[in-house]
Structure 1
Amino acid sequence: MAQVWAYRMQGPGFVERYEVPDDTTPLGPHKVRLRLLVAGLCGSDMPRFNGTVVGRIPGPLSDGAPMHEVVAEVLESTSDRLQVGQRVVGTTGHTGLCEFLTTSDSLLIGVPDELDDVEAVTIQSLGTVLRAADELPDLSGCRTAVIGAGPIGLSFCHVLKQYGAGHVTAIDPIDRQDVAIRYGADEFVRMNSRHWLQTLSADERPQVTIEAVGHQHVTIGNAIAAVAQGGFVYGFGTPDDDDYVLDYRDIYERNLTLSSGHTIDDWPTVLEKGRDYLLKHREDFADYVSHVVAAAEAQTAYTLYARPQVGRLKVAIVNRDLTGS
C-alpha cells in the first residue's frame, strides 16, 4: 500500500514527520479527498503544540500536529459544489497536518483563480474575523481598541476601520507599530494590556474593545476594565481553560456587553465573506503571510509561530520544495 507523509506531536513543542498508509476508503456523501497545498498556522493551534491544553477545544482531536486552515486540491469528490481538480480553501476541523485528508464539503469553498495558494490561506481566518465583526454594534465614529496585534488583531484593525470606526488603537507588547498603522490602526501602543489600561483617561476609553489574544483570562479582564461606560467587549481569542474569573459586578454596574463565540456552522458563507473582502483589499493584505515554510521543515514553522516576535505575522506551510531545485 502506498505511503504518504503526515506529522504528529512528538512531545510539547516538537512535531515529527512519519509515513502512513494512503487512505483508500470510499467517500461518503458530501465528502472530498484533498491534497494539501498550503496550511496556515493559527493561534488556536498553539495550545496543542505547546502541550498546554486544559479546557475543551472545539472540534475533534487527533494525534496529528495541530492544523486546521487549508488550501488544497480536490482529488475525489461526492460533493455537488466542489469538483475534482478544483482548488479549495477552508477548515479541516482539526484533522492535523498531513499530505492527504478527507473532510466535509460544508467546510470549504473554491479559490478564485486570481489568488495564489499562499494568498488564499488568509481567507479562512479573515472570514472568522468578519463573522465576529458582524456581531458588533454600529461602529460609526466609535473609539475602538484591539488587544493583540498579531495576524487576527491586524485583521480586526482593518475591518474596524472599514466598518466606520472613528479611532482604532492597537495594543501589543511586541513592536508592531508600522504594520498596525498599515492595517488601519490610528494609534499603536507598545505595552501589555494591563499597563495600557492603567494609562487610560476617562475620555480615552474605547466604546468597543476586541480581545484578540486568548489563552488566558488576564487580557479579556483588561478588555472589560478598559471599555467605556455602556461599552461592548468582544472576546475573540481562544480560551485554554473552562473557567475564567471576570469582574461581573463591573460588567453589571457599568452596563457593559460581553460577547464571544467561534465559527461552528455555515462555513461557506463565512469563507465567501473572507474571499470577497480579501479580493477587495488584496493589496492591503499583501504581507499578511510573512513566512512560507516547506512541509519538510514543519518544525521550523511551528517553532516560529509559537513565539510572538517582530516581523512574524501569518506562517504558511507549503506542500512543495522551496529550494528551487
Structure 2
Amino acid sequence: MTEAPELPATAPAVVAHGKDDLRIEDVPLKQPAPAEAVVEIAYGGICGSDLHYWLHGAAGESILRDPLVLGHEVVGIVARAAADGTGPAAGTPVAVHPATPGPGAARYPADRPNLSPGCTYLGSAARHPHTDGAFLRYANLPARMLRPLPPKLPLRRAAVVEPASVAWHAVSRAGDVQGKRALVVGAGPIGTLAVAVLKRAGAAHITAVDMFDKPLATASAVGADAVLKGDDEAAIAAVEADVVIESSGNRFGLASAINGAARGGRVVMVGLLPSGPQPVPVSLAITRELELVGSFRFNDEIDQVIAALADGSLVTDPVITHEFPLSQGLEAFEMARDSASSGKVLLNFGA
C-alpha cells in the first residue's frame, strides 16, 4: 500500500479579510476528514463574487464576518485520496463542483439541488461559520465534489468548467435553442461562455451585447454572429430574439434583454441583480407574453461541460484573457475588476 505523500504545514492562499483588504498569505493546513481528498490546486478563475468580497466586504447579502479563503472555480491534481476510499485516486486531474446541497428535500424539486435551502458553496460567506474556498495551494475538498478530467483535457482549459457549467445551465433553462435567434446581454465570462454553449447547441444566429469592445471581440471569437454596443437601444430592439440570456447583472441589461426579445420569447436571467426592487420594463414583457426565467448556479451539467471541452465541441479558450502566478494575486484581482480589458482571469498556483 502506497503511503500518502507528506504535505507542508502551511500553504499560500487568497484571503479576504474585509472591504479593500485582500491578502496573499500562508494559512495552516488542516487534517482532511475521512471523506475529503487533498487537491493540489493548479488553476483558479476569479469570479464576480470573489471581487465583491474584496471590493465591498460582501457578495449581495453574504457579508464577511471573518477572514475567508476565496475561490470556487478551481482545477488541480489529487495529492492525497480520501481516507475512506471514496473519490478519485491520487494523481487524478480533477475539476470541482463547489456546491453542497442543504437539507429540506421536500421543499425543492429532487432534480434541482441548486435550489435547496441552506445550500453552501466554496468561498462563500452566506453562512457562519463561513465556507472557505479553494484558492490555496493544497485544498481539502469533499471527494464527492471532484470530477475526474479526461487525460487529453489540459488543466488550463478545464479551469473554466465551473463558469461554463453556469452558462450551460442558463442555456438549458432556455429550452431547445436549435435553429433559434439568440441574444446574450453582457459579454463578461458568463456571457461569452453562454455564447459558446449556444453555438454548440445549434442556435441559428447569436447577437452579443456589451458596453466594451474587448468583451465583444471575445464573444465573436467563441461564436457570436453579430455584436452590439449596450447603448444602441434601437439595434437591440430590432434583434427580436427567440431566446435571450441576460448575464450583465444590472437593470439596464435586463431592460435590454426584454427590449431585444421577440414576442412570445424567453428571457433567462443568469446575471444576479442587486437585492431589492429593480425598475425594468415589465409592461413590455406582459404585452409580448415573454417568459422571464431565473437561472441559478448548476447541477449535473458539469459532466456534460467536461465532455464537451474534452471533445472540442465547446470552444472556450478565448474567454481566458489573462493568467497570473499566485504571487501576483493582487494584480490579478485588479485586472479582473476591469471588465473593459479582461475576460476570465486565472491564478496559476504552480507558477
Q: Which residue in the other structure is 1:196 paired with?
A: 232
Distance 2:307 2:294 in 1: 24
The secondary structure found in structure 1 opposite 2:271 is coil
Mapped contact 1:295–1:319 kept (Cα < 8 A): yes
Residue 33 of structure 1 aligns to a residue in which SS?
A: strand
Alignment of 1:100-115 (within 5 A): 100-115=138-153
Aligned partner letter, 2:235: T
CA distance in structure 2 between the aligned counterparts of 1:156 and 1:8, rounded to whole angstroms: 29
TM-aligned CA distance change 1:73 to 1:290, over 3 Å: same
Cα deviation digits, residues 154-186 of structure 1 (max 9, x gap): 221122222222211111111134432221111
Which shifted more, 62-71 or 112-121?
Answer: 62-71
Letter of the aligned partner of 1:87 in structure 2? P
Q: Is 1:233 paired with 2:237?
A: no
Match of 1:21 in 2: 28
- Separation in 2 of the partners of 1:282 and 1:187? 21
Paired residue total: 309
**Structure 1's 318 and 164: CA in aligned 2 closer, same or farther, altered over 3 A?**
same
* Residues 180 and 200 of structure 1, relative CA distance in 2, 3 Å threshold: closer
In structure 1, what is the equivalent of residue 49 of structure 2?
44
Q: Structure 1 counterpart of 2:74, which letter?
A: V
For 2:260 and 2:237, how far apart are their aligned partners in 1? 10
String of CA shifts for 1:189-219, please: whole Å, max 9, x gaps. Answer: 1x22xx23333455x32221111121x3221
| Separation in structure 1 between the aligned mates of residue 313 and residue 174 of structure 2, nearest angstrom | 24
**Aligned residue type for 1:291:** H
- Distance in 1 between the 2:303 and 2:66 partners? 27
**1:246-298 deviation per Cα after TM superposition (whole angstroms, max 9, x unaligned):** 4433323321101112235x4xx322111111123268333332211111110
CA apart distance, 1:243: 4.1
Aligned: 1:86 with 2:92: yes
TM-score by structure 1 length?
0.85
Q: Could you list the runs of 5+ residues in structure 2 that have no partner in the other structure?
A: 1-7, 99-121, 124-131
Is 1:63 aligned to residue 101 of structure 2?
no
Q: Quick one: which of 219, 223, 231 aligns to 1:184?
A: 223
TM-score (norm 2): 0.79
Distance 1:156 1:248 in 2: 24
CA distance in 2, matches of 1:6, 1:14: 14
Q: Describe how 1:163-312 pairs up with structure 2 within 5 A.
A: 163-176=201-214, 177-189=216-228, 191-192=229-230, 195-200=231-236, 204-214=239-249, 216-263=250-297, 266=299, 269-281=300-312, 284-310=315-341, 312=342
User: How far apart in 2 are the matches of 1:7 and 1:182?
Assistant: 31
* Distance in structure 2 (CA, Å) of the matches to 1:91 and 1:140: 28
**Gaps in structure 1 of 5+ consecutive residues:** none
Asked whether the equivalents of residues 237 and 256 of structure 2 are also in contact (C-alpha less than 8 Å), the reply is no
Between the aligned partners of 2:77 and 2:276, the Cα distance in structure 1 is: 36
Q: Aligned to 1:230, what secondary structure does the other structure show?
A: strand
- C-alpha change, 1:232 and 1:28, in structure 2 (3 Å) is same
Q: Does 1:319 align with 2:349?
A: yes
State the secondary structure of the residue aligned to 2:273: coil
Amino acid aligned to 1:213 = S
Change (3 A) 1:143 1:239: same
% of aligned pairs identical? 22
Alignment root-mean-square deviation, CA: 2.6
